[in-house]
């Protein structure tokens, strides 16, 4: 079976246009990766929200303890005044509701006899507790919304990847092999690259993964997506990078294309959705796509967006 540009079967006598098929497969792979990198971005955001929520819940708990302590102090003060005869029987109050308790205090003739600082402290704790409570609920709502976004991005990435694989599966075996062989990359010796220190460690690791599979969301040991490979490569050198090409673009000093050095992170597309490691001599190593896996490519194989020097 052969294919037209739309991906539908064409008459049997027509030979498939492999360049057209390759372009369409590459586009689908890229669209899948864009969704996958948005998923990685959302995962980072979700982790930050989780940390915020944990911190807010801890603050809320501490605020609640402080509120209970101040309330106890106010009540003790009222009890002491009652026992001393300064509070009449109608002063029995002690509402379990925080605001109601303040309202009761405000209407009682004994309020003037309480220490102003104690009441002010109680009011401050009530306000702080309510703020923490509202912020906590907002974070929970944000997390629920982001979890829905994660599911949608995963669905998009999976659908694009499935479409590309279906397109490839319709080719004859020899045609498919010819198409994928163009993405095989080229061998390169890490020891021949003029790099040292952290850059050398990252390059050595990344080149050792050439031939491994591309799987979006993966970060080793036998499969990677683009930002997963660069993250793990620099982890070997003691440099922590986020699992997101967009976030990695903000992880170091930006360098001009003319000043690139081996080990620099190079970024592609607008908005940024792909990253690799520069090797020198116009070459990069990167987790390319599900059809090619980890490979060495030309620097300008994709639309260049910028570069960063990590660490």
Give the catalytic positions in this structure.
226, 274, 286
Angle of helix 18-83 relative to helix 116-169, nearest 10 degrees, comes to: 160
Report which DSSP code applies to 219.
B
CA angle 163, 268, 152 (to 5 degrees): 40
Closest by Cα among 285, 268, 281 to 33: 268
Reading the block at residue 166, the tokens are 């279906």
Long-range contacts formed by 213-216: CB under 8 A, 24+ apart: 213/290, 213/293, 213/294, 214/287, 214/288, 214/289, 214/290, 214/291, 214/292, 214/293, 214/294, 215/290, 216/32, 216/33, 216/36, 216/39, 216/157, 216/161, 216/290
How far is 307 from 266, CA to CA, in rounded Å?
Answer: 4
What lies within 8 Å, CB to CB, of 65 at 6+ separation is: none
């Amino acid at each position: 079976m052969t294919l037209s540009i739309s991906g539908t079967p064409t008459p049997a006598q027509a030979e498939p246009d492999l360049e057209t098929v390759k372009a369409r497969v590459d586009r689908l792979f890229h669209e899948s990766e864009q969704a996958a990198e948005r998923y990685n971005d959302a995962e980072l955001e979700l982790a930050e929200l989780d940390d915020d929520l944990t911190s807010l819940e801890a603050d809320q708990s501490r605020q609640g303890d402080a509120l209970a302590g101040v309330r106890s102090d106010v009540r003790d003060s009222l009890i002491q005044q009652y026992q001393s005869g300064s509070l009449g029987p109608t002063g029995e109050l002690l509402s379990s509701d925080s605001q109601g308790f303040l309202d009761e205090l405000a209407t009682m003739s004994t309020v003037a006899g309480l220490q102003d600082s104690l009441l002010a402290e109680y009011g401050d704790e009530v306000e702080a507790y309510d703020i923490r409570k509202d912020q906590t609920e907002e974070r929970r709502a944000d997390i629920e919304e982001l979890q829905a976004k994660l599911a949608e991005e995963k669905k998009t990435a999976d659908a694009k990847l499935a479409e590309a694989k279906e397109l490839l599966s319709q080719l004859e075996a020899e045609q498919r092999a010819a198409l994928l062989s163009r993405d095989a990359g080229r061998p390169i010796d890490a020891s021949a690259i003029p790099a040292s220190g952290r850059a050398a460690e990252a390059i050595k690791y990344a080149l050792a993964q050439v031939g491994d599979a591309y799987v979006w969301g993966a970060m080793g040991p036998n499969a990677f997506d683009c930002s997963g490979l660069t993250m793990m490569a620099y982890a070997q050198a003691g440099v922590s990078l986020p699992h997101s090409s967009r976030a990695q673009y903000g992880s170091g000093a930006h360098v001009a294309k003319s000043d690139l050095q081996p080990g620099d992170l190079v970024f592609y597309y607008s908005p940024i959705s792909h990253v690799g490691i520069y090797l020198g001599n116009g070459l990069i190593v990167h987790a390319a796509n599900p059809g090619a896996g980890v490979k060495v490519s030309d620097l300008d194989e994709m639309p260049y967006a910028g570069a960063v020097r990590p660490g």
